Every structure is written in structure tokens, then in C-alpha cells.
Amino acid sequence: KMPDLRYTVRSLYYDSPKLDFYWEKIDGVKVRRKLRIRSYNSLKPDSVAFLEIKRRYGTAVVKERAKYSFDEISRLMSSPANIWLTYDQSMDGSLVLGKWVDNILRWNLEPAVVIAYEREAYVGRHDDDNNVRFTIDMDVRARITESVNELFATDNEIPLTGNLYILELKYNNFMPKWMRALVQEFGLQQRSISKYCMGIHEGILSN
């Protein structure tokens, strides 16, 4: 039996009241960032979540993440300003947490939208140095929210992609021959797609 390679990705994106991060992407600003809380599948007592900071410098992308239980994330994000009162630099993930809180307070960030989708992920077997992998995302949907506690909520979701699939090819150094052949055989075209921007446009700006 083939293993089940499909799972649900859930990401809660933060932005300023003026949606500065959204407009930076729309305007093509070369140096920009995103802050999100990411988790997977449905909520369980032992669910974990990740604080992620994603920075883009032109075509280069740098991502930092720290892992916590979802209960801890919920507690921390309920009052980011109070985190400094108990901030411990020796904690696991404390560096990312510190940057997170700094960004929240500096930009007045707040929860904006949850982006959820189903993903199938595949990893290359024989090229560890190149770290080849590709993902297929489907059923992308958005849910406007004001609370981290709604990361796993499924009501009032807005469909974004219909029957379309998003294929992302990833590698560290070079595209392998089989991947090039795949692109040529199916006439695939590279496009820049921001699920976050799609969600903001459909969930907030279109209303």
C-alpha cells in the first residue's frame, strides 16, 4: 500500500492594520518579510505549531522557525507585549520568538488571515546534497480571523483556487534532468503565486 502523502497545511499570517506586508508584495518591494504561525492537519491535544519569519531579498529567501506546542503558541500570542516579562533567552526557539515579538510591536501586527490547503510532498532519494523535493498544493482556501485560536477553524472558508493545482519544484543547487524533462513535457510555466495575497484580496479587499 502506498503511504498517504497528503496532509493539511494551516498558516495564520500577521499584518499591520494597513496591510503593509500585503502591499509590499503587490508593489514588488525587493526586501520584504512575512510572519506566520504554521501547523498541520486538525487540532489535537498534542498539536504543535511553528513561529515562522520568512524574509525575501530579491530572489533569495531566508526562513527562521521555532517549534512550540499549540497551547503555548496560543498563550504567548494572546498578549505579545507581556512576553518580555517572562522572556528567557535560554528557551528553545527564544531567538525567533524575540524577533517575532519585536516585529509585532514595531509594526503593530495582528492576525489577518488563515490560509489552508491540502499538500502532497515528494522528496528525491539519491541527491542528498541538492535536497530535491516537490510539492503539489490543492484546495487552497482562506479564512479571515482575528485570533490565533482560530487557526484550525474550518467554517466560513473562502475557496481560492478551485480545481487548479500549484506545483512547486525545490532544490538547493541545480534542477535535475528529470525535473527539466517534467517541465518540458507538460509545458509548465513558472509563476509567482502568493497564497497570502490571494486570501487578503478575496477575503478583505473584495468585500
The full 3-state SS of 34-45, as one line of letters, equals EEEEEEECCCCC
- Chain segment 28-61, per-residue pLDDT in tens: 999 999 999 999 999 999 999 999 999 999 878 8
Structural domain count of the chain:
1
- Chain segment 144-180, per-residue pLDDT in tens: 999 999 999 999 999 999 999 999 988 888 888 888 9
Counting residues of the chain whose pLDDT is more than 90, the rounded percentage is: 58
Residue 118 covered by a domain: yes
Query: At 89, is the pLDDT very low, low, confident or very high (cuts 50, 70, 90)?
Result: low
Query: What is the structure's pLDDT at 25?
Result: 94
Query: What is the structure's pLDDT at 90?
Result: 55
Query: What is the structure's pLDDT at 196?
Result: 96
Residue 144 covered by a domain: yes
Provide the mean pLDDT of the chain: 88
What CATH number has the domain bearing residue 55?
3.20.100.30
CA distances from 122 to 117, 125, 140, 169 (A): 16, 9, 19, 10
Query: At 107, is the pLDDT very low, low, confident or very high (cuts 50, 70, 90)?
Result: very high
Query: What is the structure's pLDDT at 137?
Result: 96
Query: What is the structure's pLDDT at 117?
Result: 98
pTM recorded for the entire structure? 0.90
Counting residues of the chain whose pLDDT is more than 70, the rounded percentage is: 90
CB 203 within 8 A of CB 143: yes
Host domain of residue 58: 6-205
Residue 1 covered by a domain: no
